[in-house]
Structure 1
Amino acid sequence: MAKTVTIYHNPRCSTSRKVLGMIQESGVEPTIVKYLDTPPSHDGLRKLLDDAGLRPGQAIRRREALYAELGLADADDDALIDAMVANPILIERPIVVTDKGTRIARPAESVAEIL
C-alpha cells in the first residue's frame, strides 16, 4: 500500500470524488490539492505529466469549450501547459501521486495500480 498519496482534486467532478473515496477506503488519508484554486506551476505540471508518462496533449480536456476558444488544437507542448496552468479547468482529473507512481485516474479504478 502506498505510504503517501496526493490527489489533484475537483470536488465538482464525479470521477474525482469517486477516486478520493477509493483512496480513503484503502485506509490512506491523502493530501488534497484543489487544483482549480491552486493550480500547479508550469514546471510542476510538466513534472506531474512526465512522472505519469504523458504528453500535455494527453492530459488536456479537449471537450472543454475553452480548449476550442483558445485555439489549442495545433498548440505545442509548452503552449498547452501554459494554457492548463492559466486555465486549470483544462487539466484532466484527477491526478493521483503516490510513492508507486503518478496517474490520471480515468477510469477511476486505475488508481488501484498505484495504491
Structure 2
Amino acid sequence: MVTIYHNPRCRKSREALAILEDQKEEISIFKYLDTPPDKKEITEVIKLLGINPIELVRKNETIWKENYKGKTLSDDEVITILSENPKLIERPIVIKNNKAIVGRPPEKVLTIL
C-alpha cells in the first residue's frame, strides 16, 4: 500500500498520482487540504522523510512570506504552523513501507516503489 499526500489542484501532485497508478500500486489518497494532518501525523511524516521540519515548508506561499519568513522558529513551532496551514506542506508526499519521499519532480516517486 502506498499513501500519497495529495492536492488535486497541484499539477506535480496529479502527475505523481498518475505515475503510481501506472505502476499498479494500491493507493491510499490523503487529501491533506480537506483533512489537515495533526502535529503528530506531520511529525511522523517528517521522521519518515528524514528531514528537518523547515524543509517541508513551501516557502513561496503567501501565508509563509507574510507571517513567518525571516523569523527564527523552533521545530515544534514549524510543525504547529504546518498543522494550522496545510497549504504550506510540500507536496506530493508518498509513503511506502515506512519510507517517505517528496515527489518533486514527480518521477522521484518511482524510487520508493
TM range (shorter): over 0.9
- TM-score, normalised via structure 2 length: 0.94
Q: Distance in 2 between matches of 1:6 and 1:100?
A: 10
Unmatched tracts of structure 2, length 5 or more = none
Count of residue pairs the alignment pairs up: 112
Q: What is the CA distance between 1:60 and its match in structure 2? A: 0.2
Counterpart of 2:88, as a letter, is L
Give identity over the alignment, percent: 39
Match of 2:8 among 11, 20, 26: 11
Q: Structure 1 residues 80 and 62 mapped into 2: Cα distance closer, same or farther (>3 Å)? A: same
Q: Note if contact 1:72-1:80 (Cα within 8 Å) is conserved in structure 2.
A: no
Partner residue, 1:26: 23
Q: What is the CA distance between 1:53 and its match in structure 2? A: 0.4
Q: Structure 1 residues 85 and 72 mapped into 2: Cα distance closer, same or farther (>3 Å)? A: farther
Q: What is the CA distance between 1:72 and its match in structure 2? A: 4.4
Q: Distance in 2 between matches of 1:32 and 1:44?
A: 15
Q: Distance in 2 between matches of 1:64 and 1:89?
A: 8
Q: Structure 1 residues 100 and 78 mapped into 2: Cα distance closer, same or farther (>3 Å)? A: closer
Say whether 1:87 aligns with 2:88: no
Unmatched tracts of structure 1, length 5 or more = none
Q: What does the per-residue CA deviation read over 1:67-112, in whole Å, with 9 as the maximum and x for residues that have no partner?
A: 0222243211111111110010000001110116211111111101
Q: Distance in 1 between matches of 2:52 and 2:60?
A: 17
Say which is worse superposed, 26-35 or 95-104, in terms of deviation: 95-104
Q: Note if contact 2:39-2:80 (Cα within 8 Å) is conserved in structure 1.
A: yes
Q: Distance in 2 between matches of 1:42 and 1:109?
A: 28
Q: Note if contact 1:92-1:104 (Cα within 8 Å) is conserved in structure 2.
A: yes
Stretches (4+) displaced over 3 A: none
